[in-house]
């Protein structure tokens, strides 16, 4: 039986992995081993749950180093028995796996190439050496990779988020809902959740008809949710993030893939991001190529939705921006139009199928 090693390291990457696995299995009888979590646990032989090692920032990674080495050791144990390797984003770990695979003379495909155009762009040269095929997901990335050798390895079919959300958009009536998305990683929520939820607490007084919903995606520990609810009892909790995105009028979102998902739904938002002071300072030193951090703004090439990053991410600023957008119909409508343009630039559904065909034909033809 054909067997692939697949490594993803966050919920968004796992959703793309799940769709890719489904499309590959339509092509042939295939087996998978690697890193994942609850979304792919029935489709893949899990060596470990990526949540054990998925962190943000420099300070946050240190306590995870031992577990990182343990999981890397498990990958070393199985890599000789696979036909090829598919890496999905998660560069800090996947670069190590990719280099190992290349050394073992295994074919390597990077699906959902990491955002090297944003920071430490020199790593693109390294990636094109250990990868045989690189599938990008943003339209502007092809131009970025032309600056490096082996750019013939680069392919683009659109963004797989369109496959994830296909059939989920515009099927519910809008309600007076403010969607709260403080992130998916525990460390990420530790910084962003208090800021976002304190803003919601203030907004509740000014928007008495609105409901405030925290969409967890089913990824958050129940004890953690219970503790948060004790402090913010007015906040409702829902697992189905995409249902809440479809019914909401506005969102407060931690920077990341969720901002892109909101954009595809045409949902106006305020983007918030807080990390440790050390990580923030290092990030500002390393990031030179982008003026914005929110994916909708990066794709649009300008700031179309507000961002509050680092020291600017405070509840009162969030509160005023939300009120400003909701109280001015022209501003709100204009935001939706601009987000529609972001969605159009990402291509059309069918990305997972195209990527699966490329991967299968490359590995087995």
Cα angle 195-187-56, degrees, rounded to a multiple of 5: 110
Q: Does residue 263 register a pLDDT over 70?
A: yes
* CB contact at 8 A, 270 and 253: yes
Instruction: Quote the pTM value.
Output: 0.90
Q: What is the pLDDT of residues 350-363, one digit of tens each?
A: 999 999 999 999 99
Nearest to 37 by CA among 63, 13, 61: 13
Collapsed DSSP state (helix, strand, coil) of residue 182: coil
Q: Edge to edge, what strands does the sheet with 250-254 contain?
A: 236-238, 211-215, 177-181, 250-254, 269-273, 307-309
Locus of tokens 């060596």:
47
Q: Which residue has the higher pLDDT, 119 or 88?
A: 88
Distance CA 87, CA 93 (A): 10
CB atoms within 10 A of CB 149: 11
For residue 233, is it within any domain?
Answer: yes
The reply to whether 105 and 253 lie within a common domain is no
> Is the pLDDT score of 141 beyond 60?
yes
| 171-198 tens-digit pLDDT | 999 999 999 999 987 888 999 999 999 9
Together in a domain, 144 and 188: no
As a whole number, mean pLDDT of residues 268-281 equals 72
Per-residue pLDDT reduced to its tens digit, 321-337: 999 999 999 999 999 99
8 plus 117 within the same structural domain: yes
Banded pLDDT at 286 (limits 50, 70, 90): very low
Lowest mean pLDDT among 39-43, 119-123, 317-321: 119-123
Q: What is the CATH number of the domain that holds 116?
A: 3.40.50.2000
229, pLDDT greater than 60: yes
Domain count, the chain: 2
When pLDDT is cut at 50, 70 and 90, the band that residue 279 belongs to is very low
Q: pLDDT grade, residue 151 (50/70/90)?
A: confident
> Residue 55: what pLDDT?
55
Q: Is residue 16 located within the same domain as residue 150?
A: yes
Contacts of 279 (CB under 8 A, 6+ apart): 56, 57, 58, 59, 60
Mean pLDDT computed over every residue of the chain: 91
Same domain, 285 and 356: no
Mean pLDDT throughout 221-246? 96
Looking at the predicted structure, is the pLDDT value of residue 265 above 90?
yes
Q: In this predicted structure, what is the pLDDT of residue 74?
A: 97
pLDDT at 118 over 90: no
CA distance 193 to 186: 10
339 shares a domain with 191: yes
- Above 70 in pLDDT, residue 113? yes
Query: Count of CB atoms within 10 A of residue 117's CB?
Result: 20
Q: What pLDDT, on the 0 to 100 scale, is given for residue 51? A: 86
The residue that leads in pLDDT, 4 or 218, is 4
Give tens-digit pLDDT for 194-222. 999 999 999 999 999 999 999 998 888 89
Q: Give yes or no: residues 181 and 225 share one domain.
A: yes
In 125-222, where do the E strands start and end? 133-136, 154-156, 177-181, 211-215
Same domain, 197 and 139: no
More confident residue, 150 or 81: 81
209 C-beta neighbours (distance < 10 Å), count: 6
Residue 163 DSSP symbol = H
Distance CA 26, CA 241 (A): 28
Instruction: Determine the Cα–Cα distance for residues 113 and 248; give it in Å rounded to an integer.
Output: 31
Question: What whole-number percentage of the chain has pLDDT above 90?
Answer: 78
- Indicate if 181 and 328 belong to the same structural domain: yes
Residue 126 inside a domain? The answer is: yes
Residue 107 has pLDDT above 60, yes or no: yes
SS3 at position 295: helix
pLDDT of the residue at 188: 85
Q: Looking at the structure, do residues 99 and 183 belong to the same domain, yes or no?
A: no
One domain for residues 154 and 252: no
Lowest mean pLDDT among 67-71, 184-188, 250-254, 356-360: 184-188
Domain that holds residue 10: 2-160+349-364
Within-domain flag for 289: yes
């Amino acid at each position: 039986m054909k067997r692939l090693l697949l490594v993803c390291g966050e919920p968004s990457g796992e959703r793309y992995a799940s769709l890719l696995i489904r499309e590959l299995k339509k092509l042939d009888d295939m087996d998978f081993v690697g890193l994942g979590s609850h979304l792919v646990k029935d489709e893949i032989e899990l060596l470990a749950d990526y949540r054990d090692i998925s962190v943000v920032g420099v300070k946050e990674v240190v306590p995870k180093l031992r577990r990182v080495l343990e999981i890397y050791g498990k990958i070393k144990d199985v890599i000789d028995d696979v036909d090829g390797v598919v890496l999905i984003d998660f560069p800090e770990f996947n670069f190590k796996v990719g280099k190992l695979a290349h050394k073992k003379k295994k074919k390597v495909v990077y699906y959902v190439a990491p955002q090297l155009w944003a920071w430490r762009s020199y790593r693109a040269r390294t990636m094109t050496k250990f990868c045989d095929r690189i599938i990008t997901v943003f339209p502007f990335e092809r131009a970025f990779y032309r600056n490096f050798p082996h750019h013939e390895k680069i392919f683009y079919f659109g963004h797989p988020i369109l496959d994830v959300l296909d059939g989920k958009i515009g099927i519910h009536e809008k309600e007076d809902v403010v969607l709260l998305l403080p992130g998916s990683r525990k460390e990420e929520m530790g910084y962003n959740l208090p800021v976002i939820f304190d803003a919601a607490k203030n907004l509740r007084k000014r928007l008495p008809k609105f409901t405030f919903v925290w969409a967890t995606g089913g990824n958050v520990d129940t004890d953690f949710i219970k503790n948060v609810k004790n402090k913010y009892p007015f906040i409702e909790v829902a697992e189905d993030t995409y249902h809440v995105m479809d019914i909401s009028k506005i969102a407060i979102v931690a920077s990341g893939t969720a901002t892109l998902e909101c954009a595809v739904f045409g949902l106006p938002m305020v983007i918030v991001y807080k990390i440790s002071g050390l990580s923030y300072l290092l990030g500002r030193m390393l990031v030179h190529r982008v003026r914005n951090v929110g994916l909708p703004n990066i794709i649009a090439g300008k700031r179309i939705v507000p961002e509050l990053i680092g020291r600017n991410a405070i509840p009162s600023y969030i509160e005023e921006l939300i009120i400003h957008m909701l109280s001015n119909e022209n501003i709100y409508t204009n935001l939706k139009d601009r987000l529609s343009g972001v969605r159009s630039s990402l291509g059309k559904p069918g990305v997972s199928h195209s990527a699966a065909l490329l991967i299968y034909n490359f590995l087995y033809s």
